[in-house]
């Protein structure tokens, strides 16, 4: 399957095969063929002077992330106009995290497996989201989908990501279970939202309303307090969502009237 005339890809250190094979921080689960490289060049290097050869693409998608991550292309599939990429920082440069990204051009989306790390408070998720947003703009991709992990289940709801219908139905069931274990004073406003979870009727919450749940700011006792006699206070929205991993996304296209999903995300990211 050829995507350009023979010789279109530069040869040697600045092209084939050097930029399309394993290197110091870059590996491929399957060695690329010249046909794979022709597809890549036609999609990500030549158009609009993108110049995103495989390592440059990985560095763009994970720009701003700490440490010295290694990258692995787990798949490159020209027939599907897609690739899947994993990144991991192993701690040698002072940071430990992992994340995954897939680009599906035909679906006009980037899929993102949330950052996994035991290091908290570093803003890794925000750094990653900002990099993905910038790269999506360069590639003219208009949707960003995510699989949340741990605290990201709460953070990305607050940022404006919207779960799929199937994920939302599962989330509501789990949230109802957690509500039965909440201890603390609940405001009248919060009670109104919680009533729509417990007794949906005609006022049932929709997937886009997950942000309302995340923003419940009543102070409650966590379910798993280390010291039950002196529990640490936590926001209700966080208590209801953390750990309930879900799949969802948002529209990141620009130029739409009114407050768009993208604008809300940019405000949350502070960019």
Domain count, the chain: 2
Establish how many alpha carbons lie within 13 A of residue 107's alpha carbon, considering only the half-sphere containing its beta carbon: 13
- Residue 168, SS3 per DSSP: helix
Q: What is the DSSP letter of 34?
A: H
Tell me: do 132 and 219 sit in the same domain.
no
Q: For residue 249, is it within any domain? A: no
Q: Could you list the residue range(s) of the whole structural domain that residue 114 is in? A: 11-141
Q: For residue 268, is it within any domain? A: no
Q: For residue 225, is it within any domain? A: yes
> pLDDT per residue over 110-157, tens digit each?
999 999 887 777 889 999 999 999 999 999 999 999 999 888 999 999
**What are phi and psi for residue 32, nearest 5 degrees?**
-75, 145
> pLDDT per residue over 42-79, tens digit each?
999 999 889 999 999 999 999 989 888 999 999 999 99
Residues 44-69 as b or e (16 or more Cβ within 10 Å = b): bbeeeeeebbbeebbbbbbeebbbeb
Q: For residue 18, is it within any domain? A: yes
| Confidence class for position 226, pLDDT limits 50, 70, 90 | very low
Q: For residue 269, is it within any domain? A: no
Q: What is the model's pLDDT at position 107? A: 95
Quick one: tokens of 200? 């949906």
């Amino acid at each position: 399957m050829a995507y350009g005339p023979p010789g279109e890809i530069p040869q040697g250190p600045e092209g084939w095969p050097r930029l399309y094979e394993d290197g110091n921080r870059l590996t491929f689960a399957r060695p690329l063929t010249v046909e794979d490289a022709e597809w890549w060049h036609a999609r990500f290097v030549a158009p609009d002077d993108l110049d995103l050869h495989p390592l440059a693409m990985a560095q763009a998608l994970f720009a701003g992330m700490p440490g010295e991550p290694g990258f692995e292309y787990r798949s490159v599939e020209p027939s599907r106009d897609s690739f899947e990429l994993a990144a991991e920082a192993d701690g040698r440069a002072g940071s430990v995290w992992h994340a995954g990204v897939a680009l599906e051009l035909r679906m006009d989306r980037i899929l993102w497996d949330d950052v996994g790390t035991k290091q908290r408070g570093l803003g890794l998720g925000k750094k990653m989201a900002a990099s993905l947003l910038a790269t999506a703009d360069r590639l003219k991709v208009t949707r960003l989908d995510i699989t949340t992990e741990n605290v990201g289940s709460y953070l990305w709801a607050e940022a404006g990501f919207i779960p799929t219908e199937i994920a939302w139905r599962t989330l509501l069931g789990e949230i109802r279970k957690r509500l039965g274990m909440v201890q603390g004073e609940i405001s009248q406003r919060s009670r109104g939202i919680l009533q729509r979870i417990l007794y949906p009727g005609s006022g049932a919450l929709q997937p886009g309303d997950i942000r309302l749940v995340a923003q419940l700011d009543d102070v409650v006792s966590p379910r798993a307090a280390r010291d039950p006699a002196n529990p640490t206070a936590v926001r209700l929205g966080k208590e209801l969502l953390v750990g309930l991993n879900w799949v969802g996304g948002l529209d990141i296209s620009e130029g739409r009237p009114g407050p768009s999903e993208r604008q809300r995300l940019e405000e949350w990211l502070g960019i």
